Structure 1
Amino acid sequence: MSSRRDFLKKAGAVSAAGATALVGAPAIASTKDPIKWRLQTYAGPALGEHVIKPAVDAFNNAANGEMIIELFYADQLVPTGELFRAMQRGTIDMVQSDDDSIAAPVDISVFGGYFPFATRYSLDVPVLFEQYGLKEIWQEAYDEIKGVTWLSAGAWDPCHFATVEPIRSLADLKGKRVFTFPTAGRFLSRFGVIPVTLPWEDVEVAIQTGELDGIAWSGITEDYTVGWADVTKYFLTNNISGAWCGSFFANSERWDALPEHLKTLWKLCMDSSHYYRQHWYWGGEAKLRVEGDKLELTTIPDEEWKTVEAEALKFWDEVAETSPRNKRVVDIFKQYAADMEKAGKPYRYS
């Protein structure tokens, strides 16, 4: 009998210990240190509230404590032009930007941002990537670069001028000092524009002090959102590109180490970000042209603007000569443009 009692006591102790372990298991799991990443975007805080923060907030909520992405805005950790190298070194885990601005060491970086007249509408970007082969080309290019993984591309707003003085003809562009993207600046310099590179946060003050005559960096939605509409007076309705092409990139080692469910979650959040920008910009561009009271709209006549479009095709051919892969991209742009023209309205309005 004594042995039987001892056995039951020991069995009960073991059972209690086991129950405690089971009950305590979730608490132990929840105290595990979360994976922490730092993401820097090309955008300043006001713009970042729309183009990236909703996606990061959604991810952090859905990751359930397993991972936290810390968001940093333009130039907060490193200058935008140094983002690619910082990501390669692991100083930053992830980047949201166009290839052009972060000086990505790939031949196709010229197409990031605003490649003149490659797109007319924001939907052109996802169609080009998902249905016309740009996705595979971007993956191929970045697979050749050690340390960085290209994740996804999406569309932002069109490229318009917001200026202190009105632009109503091509002649009005001559001598204008304009904040813009590298490739867009190279193209616009053919019409007398003087491209100026500054930290994003310094642009508003540079316009007020006269260092800049205007901006060719966004559409009217951003002009109002970030405060540029407060320091400029005119908005040119002609644009050199219907949508900015930007991407998400990650340090390869960090990305490869993530569990698959967190990779999938972030991919869904990137898609959510792409979708948000589609309606935020598309609706904003129209609404602010109609209801905005800060910028007067000006237009260069269609016949004169056609010379800019013709020059863009020459620019395309020059870029195509820089590498076989760039030629493949330009050939896709040409095929896509031809297809859209044949499709007619509403895909293209000739």
Structure 2
Amino acid sequence: MKKSIFRLTLCTLAICSLLLTGTLVTKADAAPKYRWKLAQTWGTGFPIFGDAVIKMADMVKEMSNGEMEIRIDSSNKHKAAFGVLDMVKAGQYEMGHSASYYWKGKDVNTMFFTTMPFGMIAPEQYAWFYYGGGMELMKEVYDKHGVYSYPGGNTSNQMGGWFQKEINSLEDLKGLKMRIPGFAGEVLSKLGVVVTNIAPGELYTALDRGTIDALEWVGPSLDLNMGFHKITPYYYTGWHEPATELQFMVNKKKFDALPKHLQKIVEIAMQYAAYDMYARSYNDSAENWDKIAKEYPNVKIKTFPKDVIAAMKAENEKLLKETAAKDPVFKKIYDAQTAYMKKARRWTEISDYAYLKDNLE
């Protein structure tokens, strides 16, 4: 009995000492009950995109009081930048972070949930996702892959790309080797461009060695960090990705097995990290656009000629209608996006566009 009291006294003193020194192990410091892994398309230390993933994982750990922890594996580790969907689907990773249009070879309907040429801008697209039926349509597409998909961060309107030569006509596109993903790649392919998709970590080398003649990546927020301005002189404004939304993926079985409170925490963390990335991207693009003007005056900012844009639009519409005629799910999503954009654009025109037009002229 005395030994038990002695041990209890020692334990009490130890706890008091820990409390006084501030080193008591709290629940948040304890070993997590749920350990998940996330595979991302981006390399180690990749800014903005990778930062959004880190923010999400940190929030999950903090909000769960240490009950859940998510380890992040970059493409440097898993060696499969474009294999993230397959790895999450198979349960090799519980989560992934990538871009939905990378899976168009597996399922053409996934492209709608990143962005589409001449489509919605970011505020319109977010409204569509959360209040216009977009999330439900995305769930319908990804259910057959055994994955839940969520918005994973928006870059806002992207630039049209970096080119070694000036584009003055449709003839200049023929035979041009360009890295460009998604439906935009299909459009340019119809106009004679030799289209390829290259992992982010290999883009600079491919452009520098002449493997490709042009590429689009994101915009000033990330393009300056990639160094493309050191190789190519022409920087074109965008048409193809007006609201590029990245993607968090979660294995359905793993997610459904989580306690309800952790499911909600993961969802909230993903949504916050996604919108925070949108704000960060916009800020960094504004900062770097100013930097281009001041520090890199040799970069020539160009807009595609009107006849080139017109040809892109015409080919885009043709491809959309052809694909919709063959795939009822594609048609369903295409019709839904078209109808929502038509409605939202009326407000965009009388609000943001009218304001900017009146104040920029």
In the superposition, the TM-score normalised over structure 2's length comes to 0.80
Aligned length: 335
1:170 shift after superposition? 3.6
Write the deviation string for residues 323-346 of structure 1: whole angstroms up to 9, x where unpaired: 222111111222133224433234
The answer to whether structure 1 residue 143 and structure 2 residue 147 are counterparts is: no
| CA–CA distance in structure 2, aligned partners of residues 251 and 71 of structure 1 | 15
Are residues 334 and 85 of structure 1, via their aligned partners in 2, closer, same or farther at CA, if it must alter by over 3 Å? same
Are residues 72 and 266 of structure 1, via their aligned partners in 2, closer, same or farther at CA, if it must alter by over 3 Å? same
Contact 1:180–1:195 (8 Å) recurs in 2 = yes
Are residues 194 and 75 of structure 1, via their aligned partners in 2, closer, same or farther at CA, if it must alter by over 3 Å? farther
**Which amino acid letter does the alignment assign opposite residue 42 of structure 1?**
T
Partner of 2:118: 117
**3-state DSSP of counterpart to 2:75:** coil
| CA–CA distance in structure 1, aligned partners of residues 258 and 77 of structure 2 | 25
**Which amino acid letter does the alignment assign opposite residue 261 of structure 1?**
H
1:70 shift after superposition? 1.3
The answer to whether structure 1 residue 339 and structure 2 residue 343 are counterparts is: yes
Are residues 321 and 301 of structure 1, via their aligned partners in 2, closer, same or farther at CA, if it must alter by over 3 Å? same
**3-state DSSP of counterpart to 1:218:** coil
Contact 2:118–2:240 (8 Å) recurs in 1 = yes
**Which amino acid letter does the alignment assign opposite residue 117 of structure 2?**
P
**Which amino acid letter does the alignment assign opposite residue 102 of structure 2?**
S
Over alpha carbons, which structure has the higher Rg? Answer: 1
Partner of 2:201: 201
Partner of 1:313: 317
| CA–CA distance in structure 2, aligned partners of residues 112 and 206 of structure 1 | 28
Contact 1:83–1:102 (8 Å) recurs in 2 = no
1:28 shift after superposition? 9.6
Write the deviation string for residues 218-247 of structure 1: whole angstroms up to 9, x where unpaired: 223221133333333221013222111322
Partner of 1:184: 184
Write the deviation string for residues 248-302 of structure 1: whole angstroms up to 9, x where unpaired: 1111222122222222222222122222222222333344334314432111234
| CA–CA distance in structure 2, aligned partners of residues 287 and 298 of structure 1 | 19
Contact 2:42–2:50 (8 Å) recurs in 1 = no
Partner of 2:289: 289
1:205 shift after superposition? 0.8
1:154 shift after superposition? 4.7
Are residues 182 and 273 of structure 1, via their aligned partners in 2, closer, same or farther at CA, if it must alter by over 3 Å? same
Question: CA RMSD of the aligned region, Å?
Answer: 3.2
| CA–CA distance in structure 1, aligned partners of residues 40 and 168 of structure 2 | 34
The answer to whether structure 1 residue 301 and structure 2 residue 305 are counterparts is: yes
1:109 shift after superposition? 1.4
**Which amino acid letter does the alignment assign opposite residue 272 of structure 2?**
S
Contact 1:320–1:326 (8 Å) recurs in 2 = yes
Partner of 1:323: 327
Partner of 1:69: 70
Choose 190-199 or 283-292, whichever is displaced more. Answer: 283-292
Partner of 1:52: 53
Contact 1:161–1:215 (8 Å) recurs in 2 = yes
Contact 2:104–2:111 (8 Å) recurs in 1 = no
Partner of 1:89: 90
| CA–CA distance in structure 2, aligned partners of residues 266 and 165 of structure 1 | 46
Are residues 289 and 175 of structure 1, via their aligned partners in 2, closer, same or farther at CA, if it must alter by over 3 Å? farther
| CA–CA distance in structure 2, aligned partners of residues 132 and 288 of structure 1 | 33
1:314 shift after superposition? 1.9
In the superposition, the TM-score normalised over structure 1's length comes to 0.83
Are residues 303 and 194 of structure 1, via their aligned partners in 2, closer, same or farther at CA, if it must alter by over 3 Å? closer
1:212 shift after superposition? 1.3
**Which amino acid letter does the alignment assign opposite residue 307 of structure 1?**
A
**Which amino acid letter does the alignment assign opposite residue 127 of structure 1?**
A
Between the aligned residues of both structures, percent identity stands at 21
1:137 shift after superposition? 1.0
Contact 1:107–1:325 (8 Å) recurs in 2 = no
Are residues 192 and 106 of structure 1, via their aligned partners in 2, closer, same or farther at CA, if it must alter by over 3 Å? closer
1:143 shift after superposition? 2.5
| CA–CA distance in structure 1, aligned partners of residues 50 and 108 of structure 2 | 31
Partner of 1:4: none
1:138 shift after superposition? 1.1
For structure 1, the 5+ residue unaligned runs are 1-8
Contact 2:177–2:196 (8 Å) recurs in 1 = yes
Partner of 1:172: 172
**Which amino acid letter does the alignment assign opposite residue 350 of structure 2?**
K
| CA–CA distance in structure 2, aligned partners of residues 128 and 204 of structure 1 | 34
For structure 2, the 5+ residue unaligned runs are 17-23
| CA–CA distance in structure 2, aligned partners of residues 201 and 145 of structure 1 | 27
